[in-house]
Amino acid sequence: MEHIFNHLCIWLAPILCFTAEEAWLARFGAAEGVSVHLQTFPAVPFEWRNEGLAKKWAEIRNVRRAVTGALEVARNEKKIGAPLQAHPQVYVPQATKELLTGVDFAEICVNSALTLHAAAPPADAFALQDMADIGVVVNLAEGQKCERCWQTLPEVGSHADHPDLCDRCHDAVTHKDKAAA
């Protein structure tokens, strides 16, 4: 756990400057020269490499590249304003769909919803030249925008106590309200 903590803090320091520094100082104290920003990136042990997992995520990133390309076209055409307004229909080979089972691909692609189809893409689908077997059709997500997470979801407006929230955010806020009581 110490190795994971050290690696994550050092890796995230350029992005989450204050958070990484606070975590580092909480762990090591405020002695002079202890700042996470004075550390060099640690070498990652070869044993940490998981080829199967690396291959899976390389394919996931590849499919995501097709989705983000389609979203950019939809934004340029003014069909959507932001990815969270989209509900892409993604057409992939059966093996790729199986690979994506158990992965919240809509969240990875930063969409409110996403539907995977194990089928050949329709003729009007967006496809990258190097991935002709993957196609994306961008539709608008159904529902209203949640004021907390900004996802466009059909359940927004269904809660009397917090009508501007989706189910997930409503549960989080309601839980917080109960904890404060």
Digit-coded pLDDT (tens) for 36-95: 999 999 998 899 899 999 999 999 999 999 999 999 999 999 999 999 999 999 999 999
- How far is 3 from 19, CA to CA, in rounded Å? 18
Average pLDDT of the segment spanning 117-123: 96
Q: Residue 32: what pLDDT?
A: 66
Q: Residue 50: what pLDDT?
A: 95
Encode the chain in three state secondary structure. Answer: CHHHHHHHHHHHCCCCHHHHHHHHHHHHCCCCCCCHHHCCCCCCCHHHCCHHHHHHHHHHHHHHHHHHHHHHHHHHCCCCCCHHHEEEEEEECHHHHHHCCCCCHHHHCCCCCCEEEECCCCCCCECCCCCCCCEEEEEECCCEECCCCCCEECCCCCCCCCCCCCHHHHHHHHHHHHHHC
Q: For all residues of the chain together, what is the average pLDDT? A: 93
Q: How confident is the model at residue 31 (pLDDT cuts 50, 70, 90)?
A: confident
Sheet strand arrangement including 115-118: 115-118, 86-92, 135-140
Q: Residue 29: what pLDDT?
A: 86
Task: Provide the residue ranges of all domains of the chain, joining segments of one domain with +.
Answer: 2-48, 52-141, 144-181
In the CATH scheme, what is the homologous superfamily, with its name and number, of domain 52-141?
A: Class I aminoacyl-tRNA synthetases (RS) (3.30.2320.20)
Are residues 86 and 139 in contact, defined by beta-carbon separation less than 8 angstroms? yes
- How far is 95 from 115, CA to CA, in rounded Å? 16
Q: Taking 60 as the threshold, does the pLDDT of residue 181 lie above it?
A: no
Average pLDDT of the segment spanning 13-20: 95
Average pLDDT of the segment spanning 134-150: 96
What pTM did the predictor assign?
A: 0.77
Residue 115's DSSP bridge partners are 89
